[in-house]
Structure 1
Amino acid sequence: MKSRILAATGVIALATATITGCSSAGAAGGDSDTLTFMFRGSDAEKAAYTAAIEQFEKDNDVDVKIIMTTADEYSTKLKAAITGKQIPDVFYVDPGSVQAYVKSGIIKDITEEVEASADLDNVWAYGVDSYRFDGKIMGEGAIYAMPKDIGPFSFGYNKTMFEAAGIPLPSTDTPYTWDEFIDVAEKLTLDTDGDGTLDQWGTGLNVQWNLQSFVWSNGGDWLNEDHTEVTVDTPEFAEALQFFADMSNVAKVTPSTTDAQTLDTYQRWMQGQIGFFPVGPWDVPTYEKLDFEWDLIPYPAGATGETATWTGTLGIAVAETTKNAELATKLAIYLSTDETAQQSLVDAGVQIPNLKDMADTWVSESTLPPANKQEFLDVANDYGRALPANTTYSAEWYDELFKNIQPVLDGEQTAADYLAEVQPRMQELLDKANADAGIG
């Protein structure tokens, strides 16, 4: 049978709504001989999934309809499908949604099937544990999805820029200290054409996706151990946020606000104007086309002396309402752990292998950039953490930090003052999330 790629707008009516219990909802597949798989991704990912699913169809005598959306549209359209009782049989889920989906009866407990058919010792534990939930604590108990991938959020540098400036290349093992990082970034911040205006910068980082590394490596964190207290108002956290802001306002190693409005830092990195920039596995296909050499290194380390970053993940869940639970679960496990399916995704360059033995081979044999692929695996194995909101019932408390952070980034307010001001609002939202989750 031939898989069919369907535009999500042709299957799901657009709507916005709160997720509610859906025990009587139907599945978008419509019958037990057809499965629907909804995901978001790039053209490369679509081609990889098409090839993998066509093989699954042949092996299992089933028709799989593929519903694809853009990354920006996915959450809205999935919620619309849930509200309209047209839930796909198999679909992407993020760790932060697991608790709500379990409580609402939307996703199926697939523990028994996974443990019977998958070699979990050969799958990244972080990936599997991100979709475990025992009714109280994320990371423990039953499995509600299999990892589509894990995404070690690593740190890249422009090797060509370093060589042109005559700066020794950074170590792939020992992270820069913050002082060393600023020193190098200042040397890379230049007016290369002599017109009196900077056109090259040491770095240009987004606070929402890069602050975590600086906070964690400085000994700070967002939450206490049992996730009941917001801890952003500590000296360690304040020092990290202040350092982040001072990169622009004191060291001036990032594009100014005006520069960023003209061309954002991602585009400047792509054009070879930025020395250091984050790199996730999903970036690799695009970065292969860059006109300069680049590679991976650890993030600079704060007071702990140890590098830190986060590891993303998406899961593949099965709808509680599917009319063919056996095949739907088999498809989720297949996409996550089958060697051929994984090879299709790895060949497309959109992720590192889910299977640890494949990942080791990929590091040693793949000739595609980056040269230091081992850094991705080091993040996955050793020091990558979950994003703070992934372990709580909702992300509102976490998002609150970033809503009014701009005055700190602009140098108009100190980090310590802002964090003291925002912590109570974050705590109130965390308390609500924990109450909604039944955690008292």
Structure 2
Amino acid sequence: MTTRRKLLAAAAFAVAGTLALTACSGGGDASGDGGDKTITFMFRGGPDEKAAYEAAIAKYTEDTGTKVKVIVTDADQYATKLQAAVAGNNVPDVFYIEQASLQSYVASGVLLDITDQVENSDVDLSNIWEYGVNSYRFDGEVQGTPDGALYGLPKDVGPFSFGYNKTMLEAAGIPLPDKDTPLTWDEFVAISKQLTVDKNGDGTLDQWGTGLNVQWNLQSMVWSNGGDWTNEDHTKVTVDTPEFAEALQKFADLTNVEKVTPSASDAATLDTYQRWMAGEIGFFPVGPWDVSVYNDLDFDYDLIPWPTVGDGGTATWLGSLGIGVSATSKHPDDAAKLVTYLSADPEAQQTLVDANIQIPNLIDVAQEWAAEEGAEPANRQEFLDIAQDYGRAMPAAFTYGAEWYDELWTNIQPVLDGKQTAADYLAEVQPKMQTLLDESIANAEQAG
């Protein structure tokens, strides 16, 4: 092990030890056993999510008599505030957990093993998306294994789907894509070219075929072309391959060769998300968290499978956010009951789903939800197909930290600008990623 890796491993071990000591010294805002029980629940989200959770928790308190103090933050502040709560010996009884944080929180003694509480509840785990449940299982070495202990339950699963502006395609006289058969890459590019036009005749493009973000959209292209970030056991980085390079090059070519995306100057004026919202982009990703906003746009949209670069089939990622219990909660059983309620109670789920912030956790409820007459988007089934059939975990979801994965994006801009080939860049970045992955593995071993 290099000196730098030794220092990193030692630092990780020291932090883990500090967190464990802090977590074991007390925690939470829960009242003592002598008074009314109050547990704290910390989560992140916007106004829609906050309102939905407040409604669900009000019903929980009415049914159980357990009061819940809600602490809500913006998404970009959540991780920092949770870490501060851990360091300050004030861990909330119940809180959101990221997949990529689970192993470190287990190692540092922050998360409670709730396997027994869940098994002794009336929760039917077979009726919750398997990917969501397994995301919060950990056997001490491997996360995601079906035999691991439960350190949380899914708040949701997040199938990252692909959408299109139905109104735009109809106005251009373009046949709507098949909802079950993915477009080939050539078909996708051809339609995108037809949609990239100067609508007002001033000599400047004001409508584009697409506008994708490399950090969130490259996964689909790589996987559909037979490439991947690592080997199966996540020990070797595998980005320096022809399949990966071809996918990344095609991504860059959408801007530099095919010219079906807004230019850098266009994006600086108004980013592609805002242009999609304004009806200026034909194809764009759609997650369940977008639906409450997208359903109010001035155009009709729907979902289709992701286009395929190669013969690997349509592919995309499936995220999840979990809800866990503090290992220092004064009311661990009540905290675990809140977790099972928010994750698996049909009435609570209906409250959250009605707010259009997620798909149902319960499979039977999700199937009814997808088949609703007049649903928006109409092809909700695509979300379920991703959750059930072909969605994949993000490359760093089940590794000890994501620094190795983040390294890919650090100096990728010259490729996106057409100043460096994808193959050359990947040959440069793979050794750097491998070093960071090796350090991650060593840190996991040291923390364990």
TM-score class, shorter-chain normalisation, is: over 0.9
- Aligned partner of 1:96 in structure 2 is 100
Structure-1-length-normalised TM-score: 0.95
Q: Distance in 1 between matches of 2:303 and 2:334?
A: 40
In the alignment, structure 1 residue 192 sits paired with structure 2 residue 199: yes
Q: 2:44 aligns with which of 22, 40, 56?
A: 40
- Aligned partner of 1:57 in structure 2 is 61
Consecutive unaligned residues of structure 1, counting only runs of 5 or more, are 1-16
- Structure 1 residues 183 and 206: CA distance shift in structure 2, 3 A: same
Q: Distance in 2 between matches of 1:200 and 1:371?
A: 24
Q: 2:278 aligns with which of 253, 266, 271?
A: 271
Question: Which has the higher mean CA deviation after the structures are superposed, 361-370 or 87-96?
Answer: 361-370
Q: Distance in 1 between matches of 2:355 and 2:249?
A: 39
Question: Which has the higher mean CA deviation after the structures are superposed, 43-52 or 90-99?
Answer: 43-52
Shift of 1:368: 3.6
The answer to whether the 8 Å contact 2:23/2:86 transfers is: no
Q: Distance in 2 between matches of 1:370 and 1:261?
A: 29
Q: Distance in 1 between matches of 2:297 and 2:406?
A: 33
**1:243-392 map, 5 Å:** 243-365=250-372, 367-392=374-399
The answer to whether the 8 Å contact 2:28/2:330 transfers is: no
Q: Distance in 2 between matches of 1:258 and 1:401?
A: 24
Q: Distance in 2 between matches of 1:227 and 1:297?
A: 30
Q: Distance in 2 between matches of 1:305 and 1:184?
A: 21
Secondary structure of 2:290's counterpart equals helix
Shift of 1:388: 0.6
* Residue identity matched to 1:122: N
Shift of 1:367: 2.8
Deviations 1:367-407 (A, max 9, x none): 34100000000000110011011110000000000011000
Q: Distance in 2 between matches of 1:80 and 1:23?
A: 12
Secondary structure of 1:391's counterpart equals coil
Shift of 1:437: 0.9
Shift of 1:28: 2.6
Secondary structure of 1:295's counterpart equals strand
**1:93-172 map, 5 Å:** 93-117=97-121, 118-140=123-145, 141-172=148-179
Shift of 1:64: 0.5
Consecutive unaligned residues of structure 2, counting only runs of 5 or more, are 1-13
* Residue identity matched to 1:392: T
The answer to whether the 8 Å contact 2:221/2:309 transfers is: yes
Q: 2:183 aligns with which of 171, 176, 185?
A: 176
The answer to whether the 8 Å contact 1:171/1:297 transfers is: yes
- Aligned partner of 2:29 in structure 1 is 29
Shift of 1:27: 2.3
Shift of 1:51: 1.2
Q: Distance in 1 between matches of 2:56 and 2:200?
A: 49
* Residue identity matched to 2:309: G
Compute the RMSD of aligned alpha carbons: 1.3
- Aligned partner of 2:403 in structure 1 is 396
Q: Distance in 2 between matches of 1:30 and 1:309?
A: 41
Moved over 3 A (4+): none
Q: Distance in 2 between matches of 1:426 and 1:351?
A: 33
- Aligned partner of 1:7 in structure 2 is none
Secondary structure of 1:65's counterpart equals strand
Q: Distance in 2 between matches of 1:23 and 1:208?
A: 34
- Aligned partner of 1:4 in structure 2 is none
Shift of 1:25: 3.7
The answer to whether the 8 Å contact 1:25/1:87 transfers is: no
Shift of 1:45: 1.1
Q: Distance in 1 between matches of 2:143 and 2:288?
A: 25
Secondary structure of 2:120's counterpart equals helix
The answer to whether the 8 Å contact 2:167/2:300 transfers is: yes
Q: Distance in 2 between matches of 1:164 and 1:18?
A: 58
* Residue identity matched to 1:180: E
- Aligned partner of 1:426 in structure 2 is 433
Shift of 1:366: 5.3
Deviations 1:141-181 (A, max 9, x none): 11111000001000000001101111110010110111111
Identity of aligned pairs, percent?
A: 65
Deviations 1:298-324 (A, max 9, x none): 000121251000011100000000000
Secondary structure of 2:226's counterpart equals coil
Shift of 1:438: 1.0
Shift of 1:24: 2.2
The answer to whether the 8 Å contact 1:177/1:305 transfers is: no
- Aligned partner of 1:3 in structure 2 is none
The answer to whether the 8 Å contact 1:176/1:299 transfers is: yes
The answer to whether the 8 Å contact 2:160/2:287 transfers is: yes
- Aligned partner of 1:12 in structure 2 is none
Secondary structure of 2:319's counterpart equals strand
Secondary structure of 1:412's counterpart equals coil
- Aligned partner of 2:8 in structure 1 is none
Secondary structure of 1:230's counterpart equals coil
Q: Distance in 1 between matches of 2:79 and 2:309?
A: 35
> What is the total number of aligned residue pairs between the two structures?
424
Shift of 1:50: 0.9
